[in-house]
Amino acid sequence: MSSQAPLPSNEIARLNALCQYHILDTPPEKIFDDFTFLAAQICRTPIALISLVDGDRQWFKSKVGVTVNETSRDVAFCAYAILQQKPLVVRNALSDSRFATNPLVTSDPNIRFYAGAPLITPEGLAIGTLCVIDIVPRDLTPEQTEGLRVLSGQVITQLELRRNAITMSQSIMQRQQAAEQLRRQQDFVEVFYRQGEEKARKGDYQGAIADFNQFLRLNPNGFKAYYHRGLARQKLGDYKGAMRDFDIYLQYNPNNVEARNNRGLLRFELGDYKGAMADYSNAMHIDPEYTISGNIGLIQPGFDSQEAILNQTQSLEFNPNDVDADINISQTHAQSDLEDYTITIEDTTQFLPHHPNNTGIYANPSHTRYEFEDSSQPLRLSSDNAKARMRRGYTRNEMEDYSSAIEDYTQSLKMNPYDADAYINRGYARFMLKDYTGAIEDYTQSLRMNPKDADAYMSRGNARCEVEDYTGAIEDYTQSIALNSNNAEAYINRANARTKVKDYSGAIEDYSQFLEFNPNDAKAYISRGNARSKLKDYTGAIEDYKRVWSKAIEQLPKLSGEDR
């Protein structure tokens, strides 16, 4: 009778399972050698093997008592053992018709006794055996048979750990590759958004709109682009198009006060006064302290704000000889914030040219009129003159006329050199004009007078970053955090600065602190993941990337979608 064992009915699945362990032809390992040693000791045999049955061979991962690494599957006792779920025991191979003529029985090593416990995977597939062999006929006790079976289960446990580690490693690599591909795609798409912002800053609103359109075609969920495209359309007088963009943006960012105020201004221009008032009311409800910035004001095509200021200034009824006279300012459109700014400039412009050195007159910033005081109070009057300069400078800042604002703050500081707010405001104007060195000087002066101003440290830190003084910036952000530990922006700014000086551990701490305040900020997770990668903490990096992974994957199929 032939000594070759039949193939199992699940042979293809069995071979696939064996392949998944990536164990064949690997070097010896102590953990597996310990199993064969224990098997030989428990069963009192000179030979013990961990045998893995491949398509045409049996290969020994571990062996005791033999020197060969493998034999042909045709003569393998284990080829029979894998056909069943319980141990196979051959007490005397010479009297067993399956093995009597087997060359391993009739010649070296002259096998007489064999006992093999199949190595069964969690899927129920036998991929090999833990077997013991003797050169004399014999038997195993029930305890020895059970011990052999238990050890075979431990061998499978070790193989499963190997397979899981390999699977996890492959998964991590695939995720890293996918994350890198996603990053490249996002960077490619983000270029259009950045181009649009840059063109809008330069006044090329048509070009900006084209770039925002391209960005939104590739990333329809990039809602920030709707807002900025709306601003560009507003600049071109396309108020209805701007309204559509603001409507979409506010669906996803309903608490953006600036967007609500801007839409209110658009509605006012379109004659929808109820809608405008609703937007203003909602904005005030969200943030009662919010001040509309200068770039929100709706500038109509052909509208020269400086000329309007001059015209309205000249229209004031002012009698310099009548010390009892009130100066009334006409406010024909009290709803418009732009006009409010204009009126503020009118107040101070009217006062300053007429009375640059007159200590008998001061401007009261809380009223739209001028009053006259006793000339016996020169210090107070000089201080009020400085306040008038300050007020006009602030309004010019709001109107983005930073050069003129700097002149006003400088004049104010000549009259009152101890005004910390004047240095702060002039520093801001210089920062906006990219005079970062001047801005740093102003913020420093302010901090000498008010060393506990957390915002001033923040501002100086930002300016120092612009001149690449990251060490100084880190010191400022640290001071700001010490004064206000709840300022999330300070943590993210310090984290970015620390990254610049390769202090990745410190950066990770700051990103983590920032994420406690903003747990859904995807960019912060990516930045922290990048810092962790720099420190070779790939597990931590992968966890950070996983935070944004699901959302990013959902967006990928939409990258070819049409613009809304």
Top-confidence residue, 343 or 490:
490
Question: Which of 118-132, 460-474, 515-529 shows the lowest per-residue confidence on average (mean pLDDT)?
Answer: 515-529
pLDDT, position 387: 77
pLDDT, position 558: 52
Q: What's the average model confidence in pLDDT over 73-97? A: 95
Task: Compute the distance between CA of residue 337 and CA of residue 263 in angstroms, rounded to an integer.
Answer: 13
When the pLDDT of each residue in the chain is averaged and rounded to a whole number, the result is 81
Q: What's the average model confidence in pLDDT over 508-518? A: 94
- State the pTM of this model: 0.38
Closest CA to 77 of 118, 127, 116: 116
pLDDT surpassing 60 at residue 320: no
Q: What's the average model confidence in pLDDT over 1-13? A: 82
What is the band of 294 on the pLDDT scale with cuts at 50, 70, 90? Answer: very low
Q: What's the average model confidence in pLDDT over 152-173? A: 90
What is the band of 299 on the pLDDT scale with cuts at 50, 70, 90? Answer: very low
- Please tell me whether the peptide bond between 356 and the residue prior to it is cis, using omega within 30 degrees of 0: no
pLDDT, position 406: 94
User: Which tens digit of pLDDT belongs to each residue from 253-265?
Assistant: 899 888 888 888 8
Q: In percent, how much of the chain has pLDDT > 90?
A: 55
Which domains are seen in the chain, by residue range?
11-170 (3.30.450.40), 203-296 (1.25.40.10)
264 within 8 A of 280, measured Cβ to Cβ: yes
Tokens matching residue 279: 């937007």
pLDDT, position 325: 31
Identify the bridge partners of residue 114 per DSSP, sorted by sequence position.
90, 133
Helix axes 205-218, 142-201, angle to 10 degrees: 160
pLDDT, position 171: 83
Mind spelling out the 3-state secondary structure of 490-539? HHHHHHHHHHHCCCHHHHHHHHHHHHHHCCCCHHHHHHHHHHHHHCCCHH
Alpha carbon separation from 321 to 324, 326, 356, 372, 392 (Å, rounded)? 9, 12, 16, 11, 24
